[in-house]
Structure 1
Amino acid sequence: MILKGSQRGSGQNLAAHLMRMDDNEHVRLHELRGFASDDLGEAFKEAEGIARGTNCRQYLFSLSLNPPEDANLSEHGFEAAIDQIEARLGLSDQPRAIVFHEKEGRRHAHCVWSRIDAQTMTARQLSFFKKKLQGVSRELYLENGWKLPRGLESPAERNPTNFTLEEWQQAKRQGVDPRWLKSTLQECWKHSDSRKAFESSLGERGFFLARGDKRGHVIIDHHGEVYSLPRMLGVKTKDVRARLGDGNDLKSVTEAQAIIGQRMTPAIRRHVEESRNRFRDRSNDLAKQKEALTRQHRAARAQLDNDQRAEWDRETLKRAARLPKGLRGLWHRLTGKYREVRTLNEAEAKATRERHAQARQELIDQQRRERALLQIKFKELRQGQAKHLSELRRDVGRFMRFARGDARSPGRKQSQGLRLGLSR
């Protein structure tokens, strides 16, 4: 289970984020422990109010728990993992909130603790919490029989295509999978031993090497988007310069973008745009199916909640009626029968809670299986689109070589091979 934690303030912003329905298909506030309110926003206001009596600004500790995609972890499994984590971090008995999210057929949890100890009015210290979380994460993988990610087996084996939020957003603006982008550039770097070979390999994939204003060597794609080369490769700037030189003789970003703009023909742009339009249409169809399925699933869960709430209220009234009042109640207390009835009521209430939790879990599991079938179609569509766009990028690279006059035999046969149908 991947664990990511952070100390933070701004409890109201966090509460709003955790309860967002537009960004998740299902959101459920599972537990509020140690708070007077049953509303997440109000609970975090309580934590903030107590924190004002201290000098602590990051009064919350927020943790996300992400099991493997094929794992089927129950609510009890998440709770057990959270109990294990809070014991390791020294947050036992601190007020906490647990929220479940479901998106794209996957289920994950968020747990937020108040760091403020109300007895001592001090914040719980969370020294080396990242290292501790990594240890718990490894234990959870082993305990549940899940395959360990390479990064948890050995830090040296971490995936080199991991990316930051900034890199993700930049690639997302261009409709490119950042993992593909990084792996492609790293592959070019791996099989190139000189700047000439590297530029040639980049050109085949529709990329251009240029001189950045402040970042040294940069990569420009056929849209003119600029990427820092050392960051995309995951290597140091000095290592890039050792192989490619200082880059002072390279085209500037502005010059490179102008050249790319001249070489990108309307025909190539049209091919890319047509591919994206086809993908958008098919994606919209699947999105409509997803919305309909989400509405159906939400309605089923709401109906189950209403039925269980009504059943709980009926049984609560029935259990309350068993407890005698007045003199009869006093006599039952003296004889010990009152305790017997209360014990029976508590056992029945526990059984009902467990039965309700089991029914809720069975419904969630069934709906996740249905959602997983739809997610397969999404993945197939995205993979097909990524492959097609990759082929188009190679076409872009080939055409740019023709425009530069770099083709080996720029005769009629090769021109027909591209079949671009360009007009003069």
Structure 2
Amino acid sequence: MILEGNARGYGAELARHLLNMRDNDHVQVHLLDGFLADDLAGAFEEAEAISQATQCKKYLFSLSLNPPPDASVSVGAFEDAIAKAETALGLTGQPKAVVFHEKNGRRHAHAVYSRIDNDQMKAIQLPHFKRKLMAVSRELYLEHSWDMPRGFDDRQQRDPNRFTHAEAGQAKRAKRDTVALKKMFRACWDGADNQQAFAAALADQGYALARGNRRGLVAVDADGKVWSLSRWCGVKPKALSQKITDIEDRARSYPCSNCSFVKTPRTRASSPSPLIINLVNGFRLSKSSSE
């Protein structure tokens, strides 16, 4: 069973996502534990209200549990996996919600915890949570005699086109195919020997190479959407920095002379920033002139 998690805020948005019937055949709120509210949106609103007494912005921890495609997993087995995960993470006793989704006869689960310790009024820290969830996942595969994914024992054997829920959500919002995007970004990376070749390969696909405020090197599309290159190319930031070496000579990062190396906006906006619009338009002009 693959376990993935992340700390996050925006509880109302998460509640809408978990209760979404358009992408699932069946949705069941299986458990609300430790909340006064008796509905999912109210529970997350309650967690947000309590977090206002702290400095924590990501007051929830969202955990997804995905069994192997051919496995039939009981509710009890999911509950056992959730218990193992929360023990490993130090979230035992925290208010939580458990939601089951079913699609095409396959069930997966989501467990969402409040990170706020009500007694001490501070957020519970989650150091190395990815490593801990990986250890629990491995234990579950062995316990249920499921075939272990290749990447569990050797990172080099991981499927380069595997994607997370966050990546699938970003691709869905952009109305793009997640696997096709992964393959495209990976092909741009694998086919480029240096920074200029990589920037040109991205430009051919309609993306501009840029530096983000928080995500290091990113690609920006024509709509101003920002795509983490480390995530979508499936490479570590260190590998990116080794290939993208000519950072200071910003103009040379692009195949057109009127493009500039820009920083992506820190806040969400309804429309792309003028800097990004100019950047992408520069790519379009360069591409049309070359054709």
**Shorter chain as normaliser: what TM range?**
0.5 to 0.7
| Cα distance, 1:82 vs structure 2 | 0.3
Answer yes or no: is 1:177 the counterpart of 2:160. Answer: no
Aligned partners of 1:220 and 1:257 also within 8 Å:
no
Corresponding residue for 2:10?
A: 10
Corresponding residue for 1:97?
A: 97
Distance 1:176 1:159, change over 3 A: closer
Corresponding residue for 2:260?
A: none
Aligned partners of 2:47 and 2:59 also within 8 Å:
yes
The DSSP-based 3-state class of the residue aligned with 2:97 is strand
| Cα distance, 1:182 vs structure 2 | 5.4
After superposition, the C-alpha distances for 1:189-248 in whole angstroms (9 at most, x for unaligned) are 49xxx99xxxxxxxxxxxxxx968xx6332466xx634869875856475589xxxx898
Distance 1:6 1:185, change over 3 A: closer
**Alpha-carbon distance in structure 2 between the residues aligned to 1:94 and 1:174:** 36
| Cα distance, 1:110 vs structure 2 | 0.6
Please say which of residues 247-256 and 38-47 is displaced more in the overlay. Answer: 247-256
**Alpha-carbon distance in structure 2 between the residues aligned to 1:233 and 1:33:** 37
| Cα distance, 1:138 vs structure 2 | 1.1
The DSSP-based 3-state class of the residue aligned with 1:140 is helix
Answer yes or no: is 1:58 the counterpart of 2:58. Answer: yes
**Alpha-carbon distance in structure 2 between the residues aligned to 1:123 and 1:249:** 47
TM-score (norm 1): 0.47
Distance 1:56 1:178, change over 3 A: closer
Corresponding residue for 2:27?
A: 27
Q: How many residues align?
A: 235
In terms of Rg, which structure is larger? 1
The DSSP-based 3-state class of the residue aligned with 1:217 is helix
The DSSP-based 3-state class of the residue aligned with 1:16 is helix
Distance 1:170 1:225, change over 3 A: farther
Aligned partners of 1:172 and 1:178 also within 8 Å:
no
Q: Counterparts of 1:12-411 in structure 2 under 5 Å?
A: 12-162=12-162, 164=167, 168=171, 173=176, 177-181=180-184, 189=191, 216-219=199-202, 225-226=206-207, 232=233, 234=235, 236=240, 239=243, 254-257=285-288
After superposition, the C-alpha distances for 1:118-156 in whole angstroms (9 at most, x for unaligned) are 233332222221111111111111111112222211223
| Cα distance, 1:104 vs structure 2 | 4.0
Aligned partners of 1:211 and 1:250 also within 8 Å:
no
Please tell me the residue identity of whatever aligns with 2:80.
A
| Cα distance, 1:99 vs structure 2 | 0.3
Please tell me the residue identity of whatever aligns with 1:217.
A
**Alpha-carbon distance in structure 2 between the residues aligned to 1:233 and 1:8:** 22
The DSSP-based 3-state class of the residue aligned with 1:70 is coil
Please tell me the residue identity of whatever aligns with 1:161.
N
The root-mean-square deviation of aligned C-alpha atoms, in Å, is 3.8
* Between structures 1 and 2, the one with greater strand share: 2
After superposition, the C-alpha distances for 1:53-99 in whole angstroms (9 at most, x for unaligned) are 33333221111111111111111110000011111111112111100
* Between structures 1 and 2, the one with greater helix share: 1
Distance 1:8 1:170, change over 3 A: closer
The DSSP-based 3-state class of the residue aligned with 2:201 is strand
Distance 1:106 1:225, change over 3 A: farther
**Alpha-carbon distance in structure 2 between the residues aligned to 1:170 and 1:61:** 22
| Cα distance, 1:112 vs structure 2 | 0.8
Please tell me the residue identity of whatever aligns with 2:180.
D
The DSSP-based 3-state class of the residue aligned with 1:216 is helix
| Cα distance, 1:115 vs structure 2 | 1.7
**Alpha-carbon distance in structure 2 between the residues aligned to 1:175 and 1:122:** 37
The DSSP-based 3-state class of the residue aligned with 1:177 is helix
Aligned partners of 2:21 and 2:27 also within 8 Å:
yes
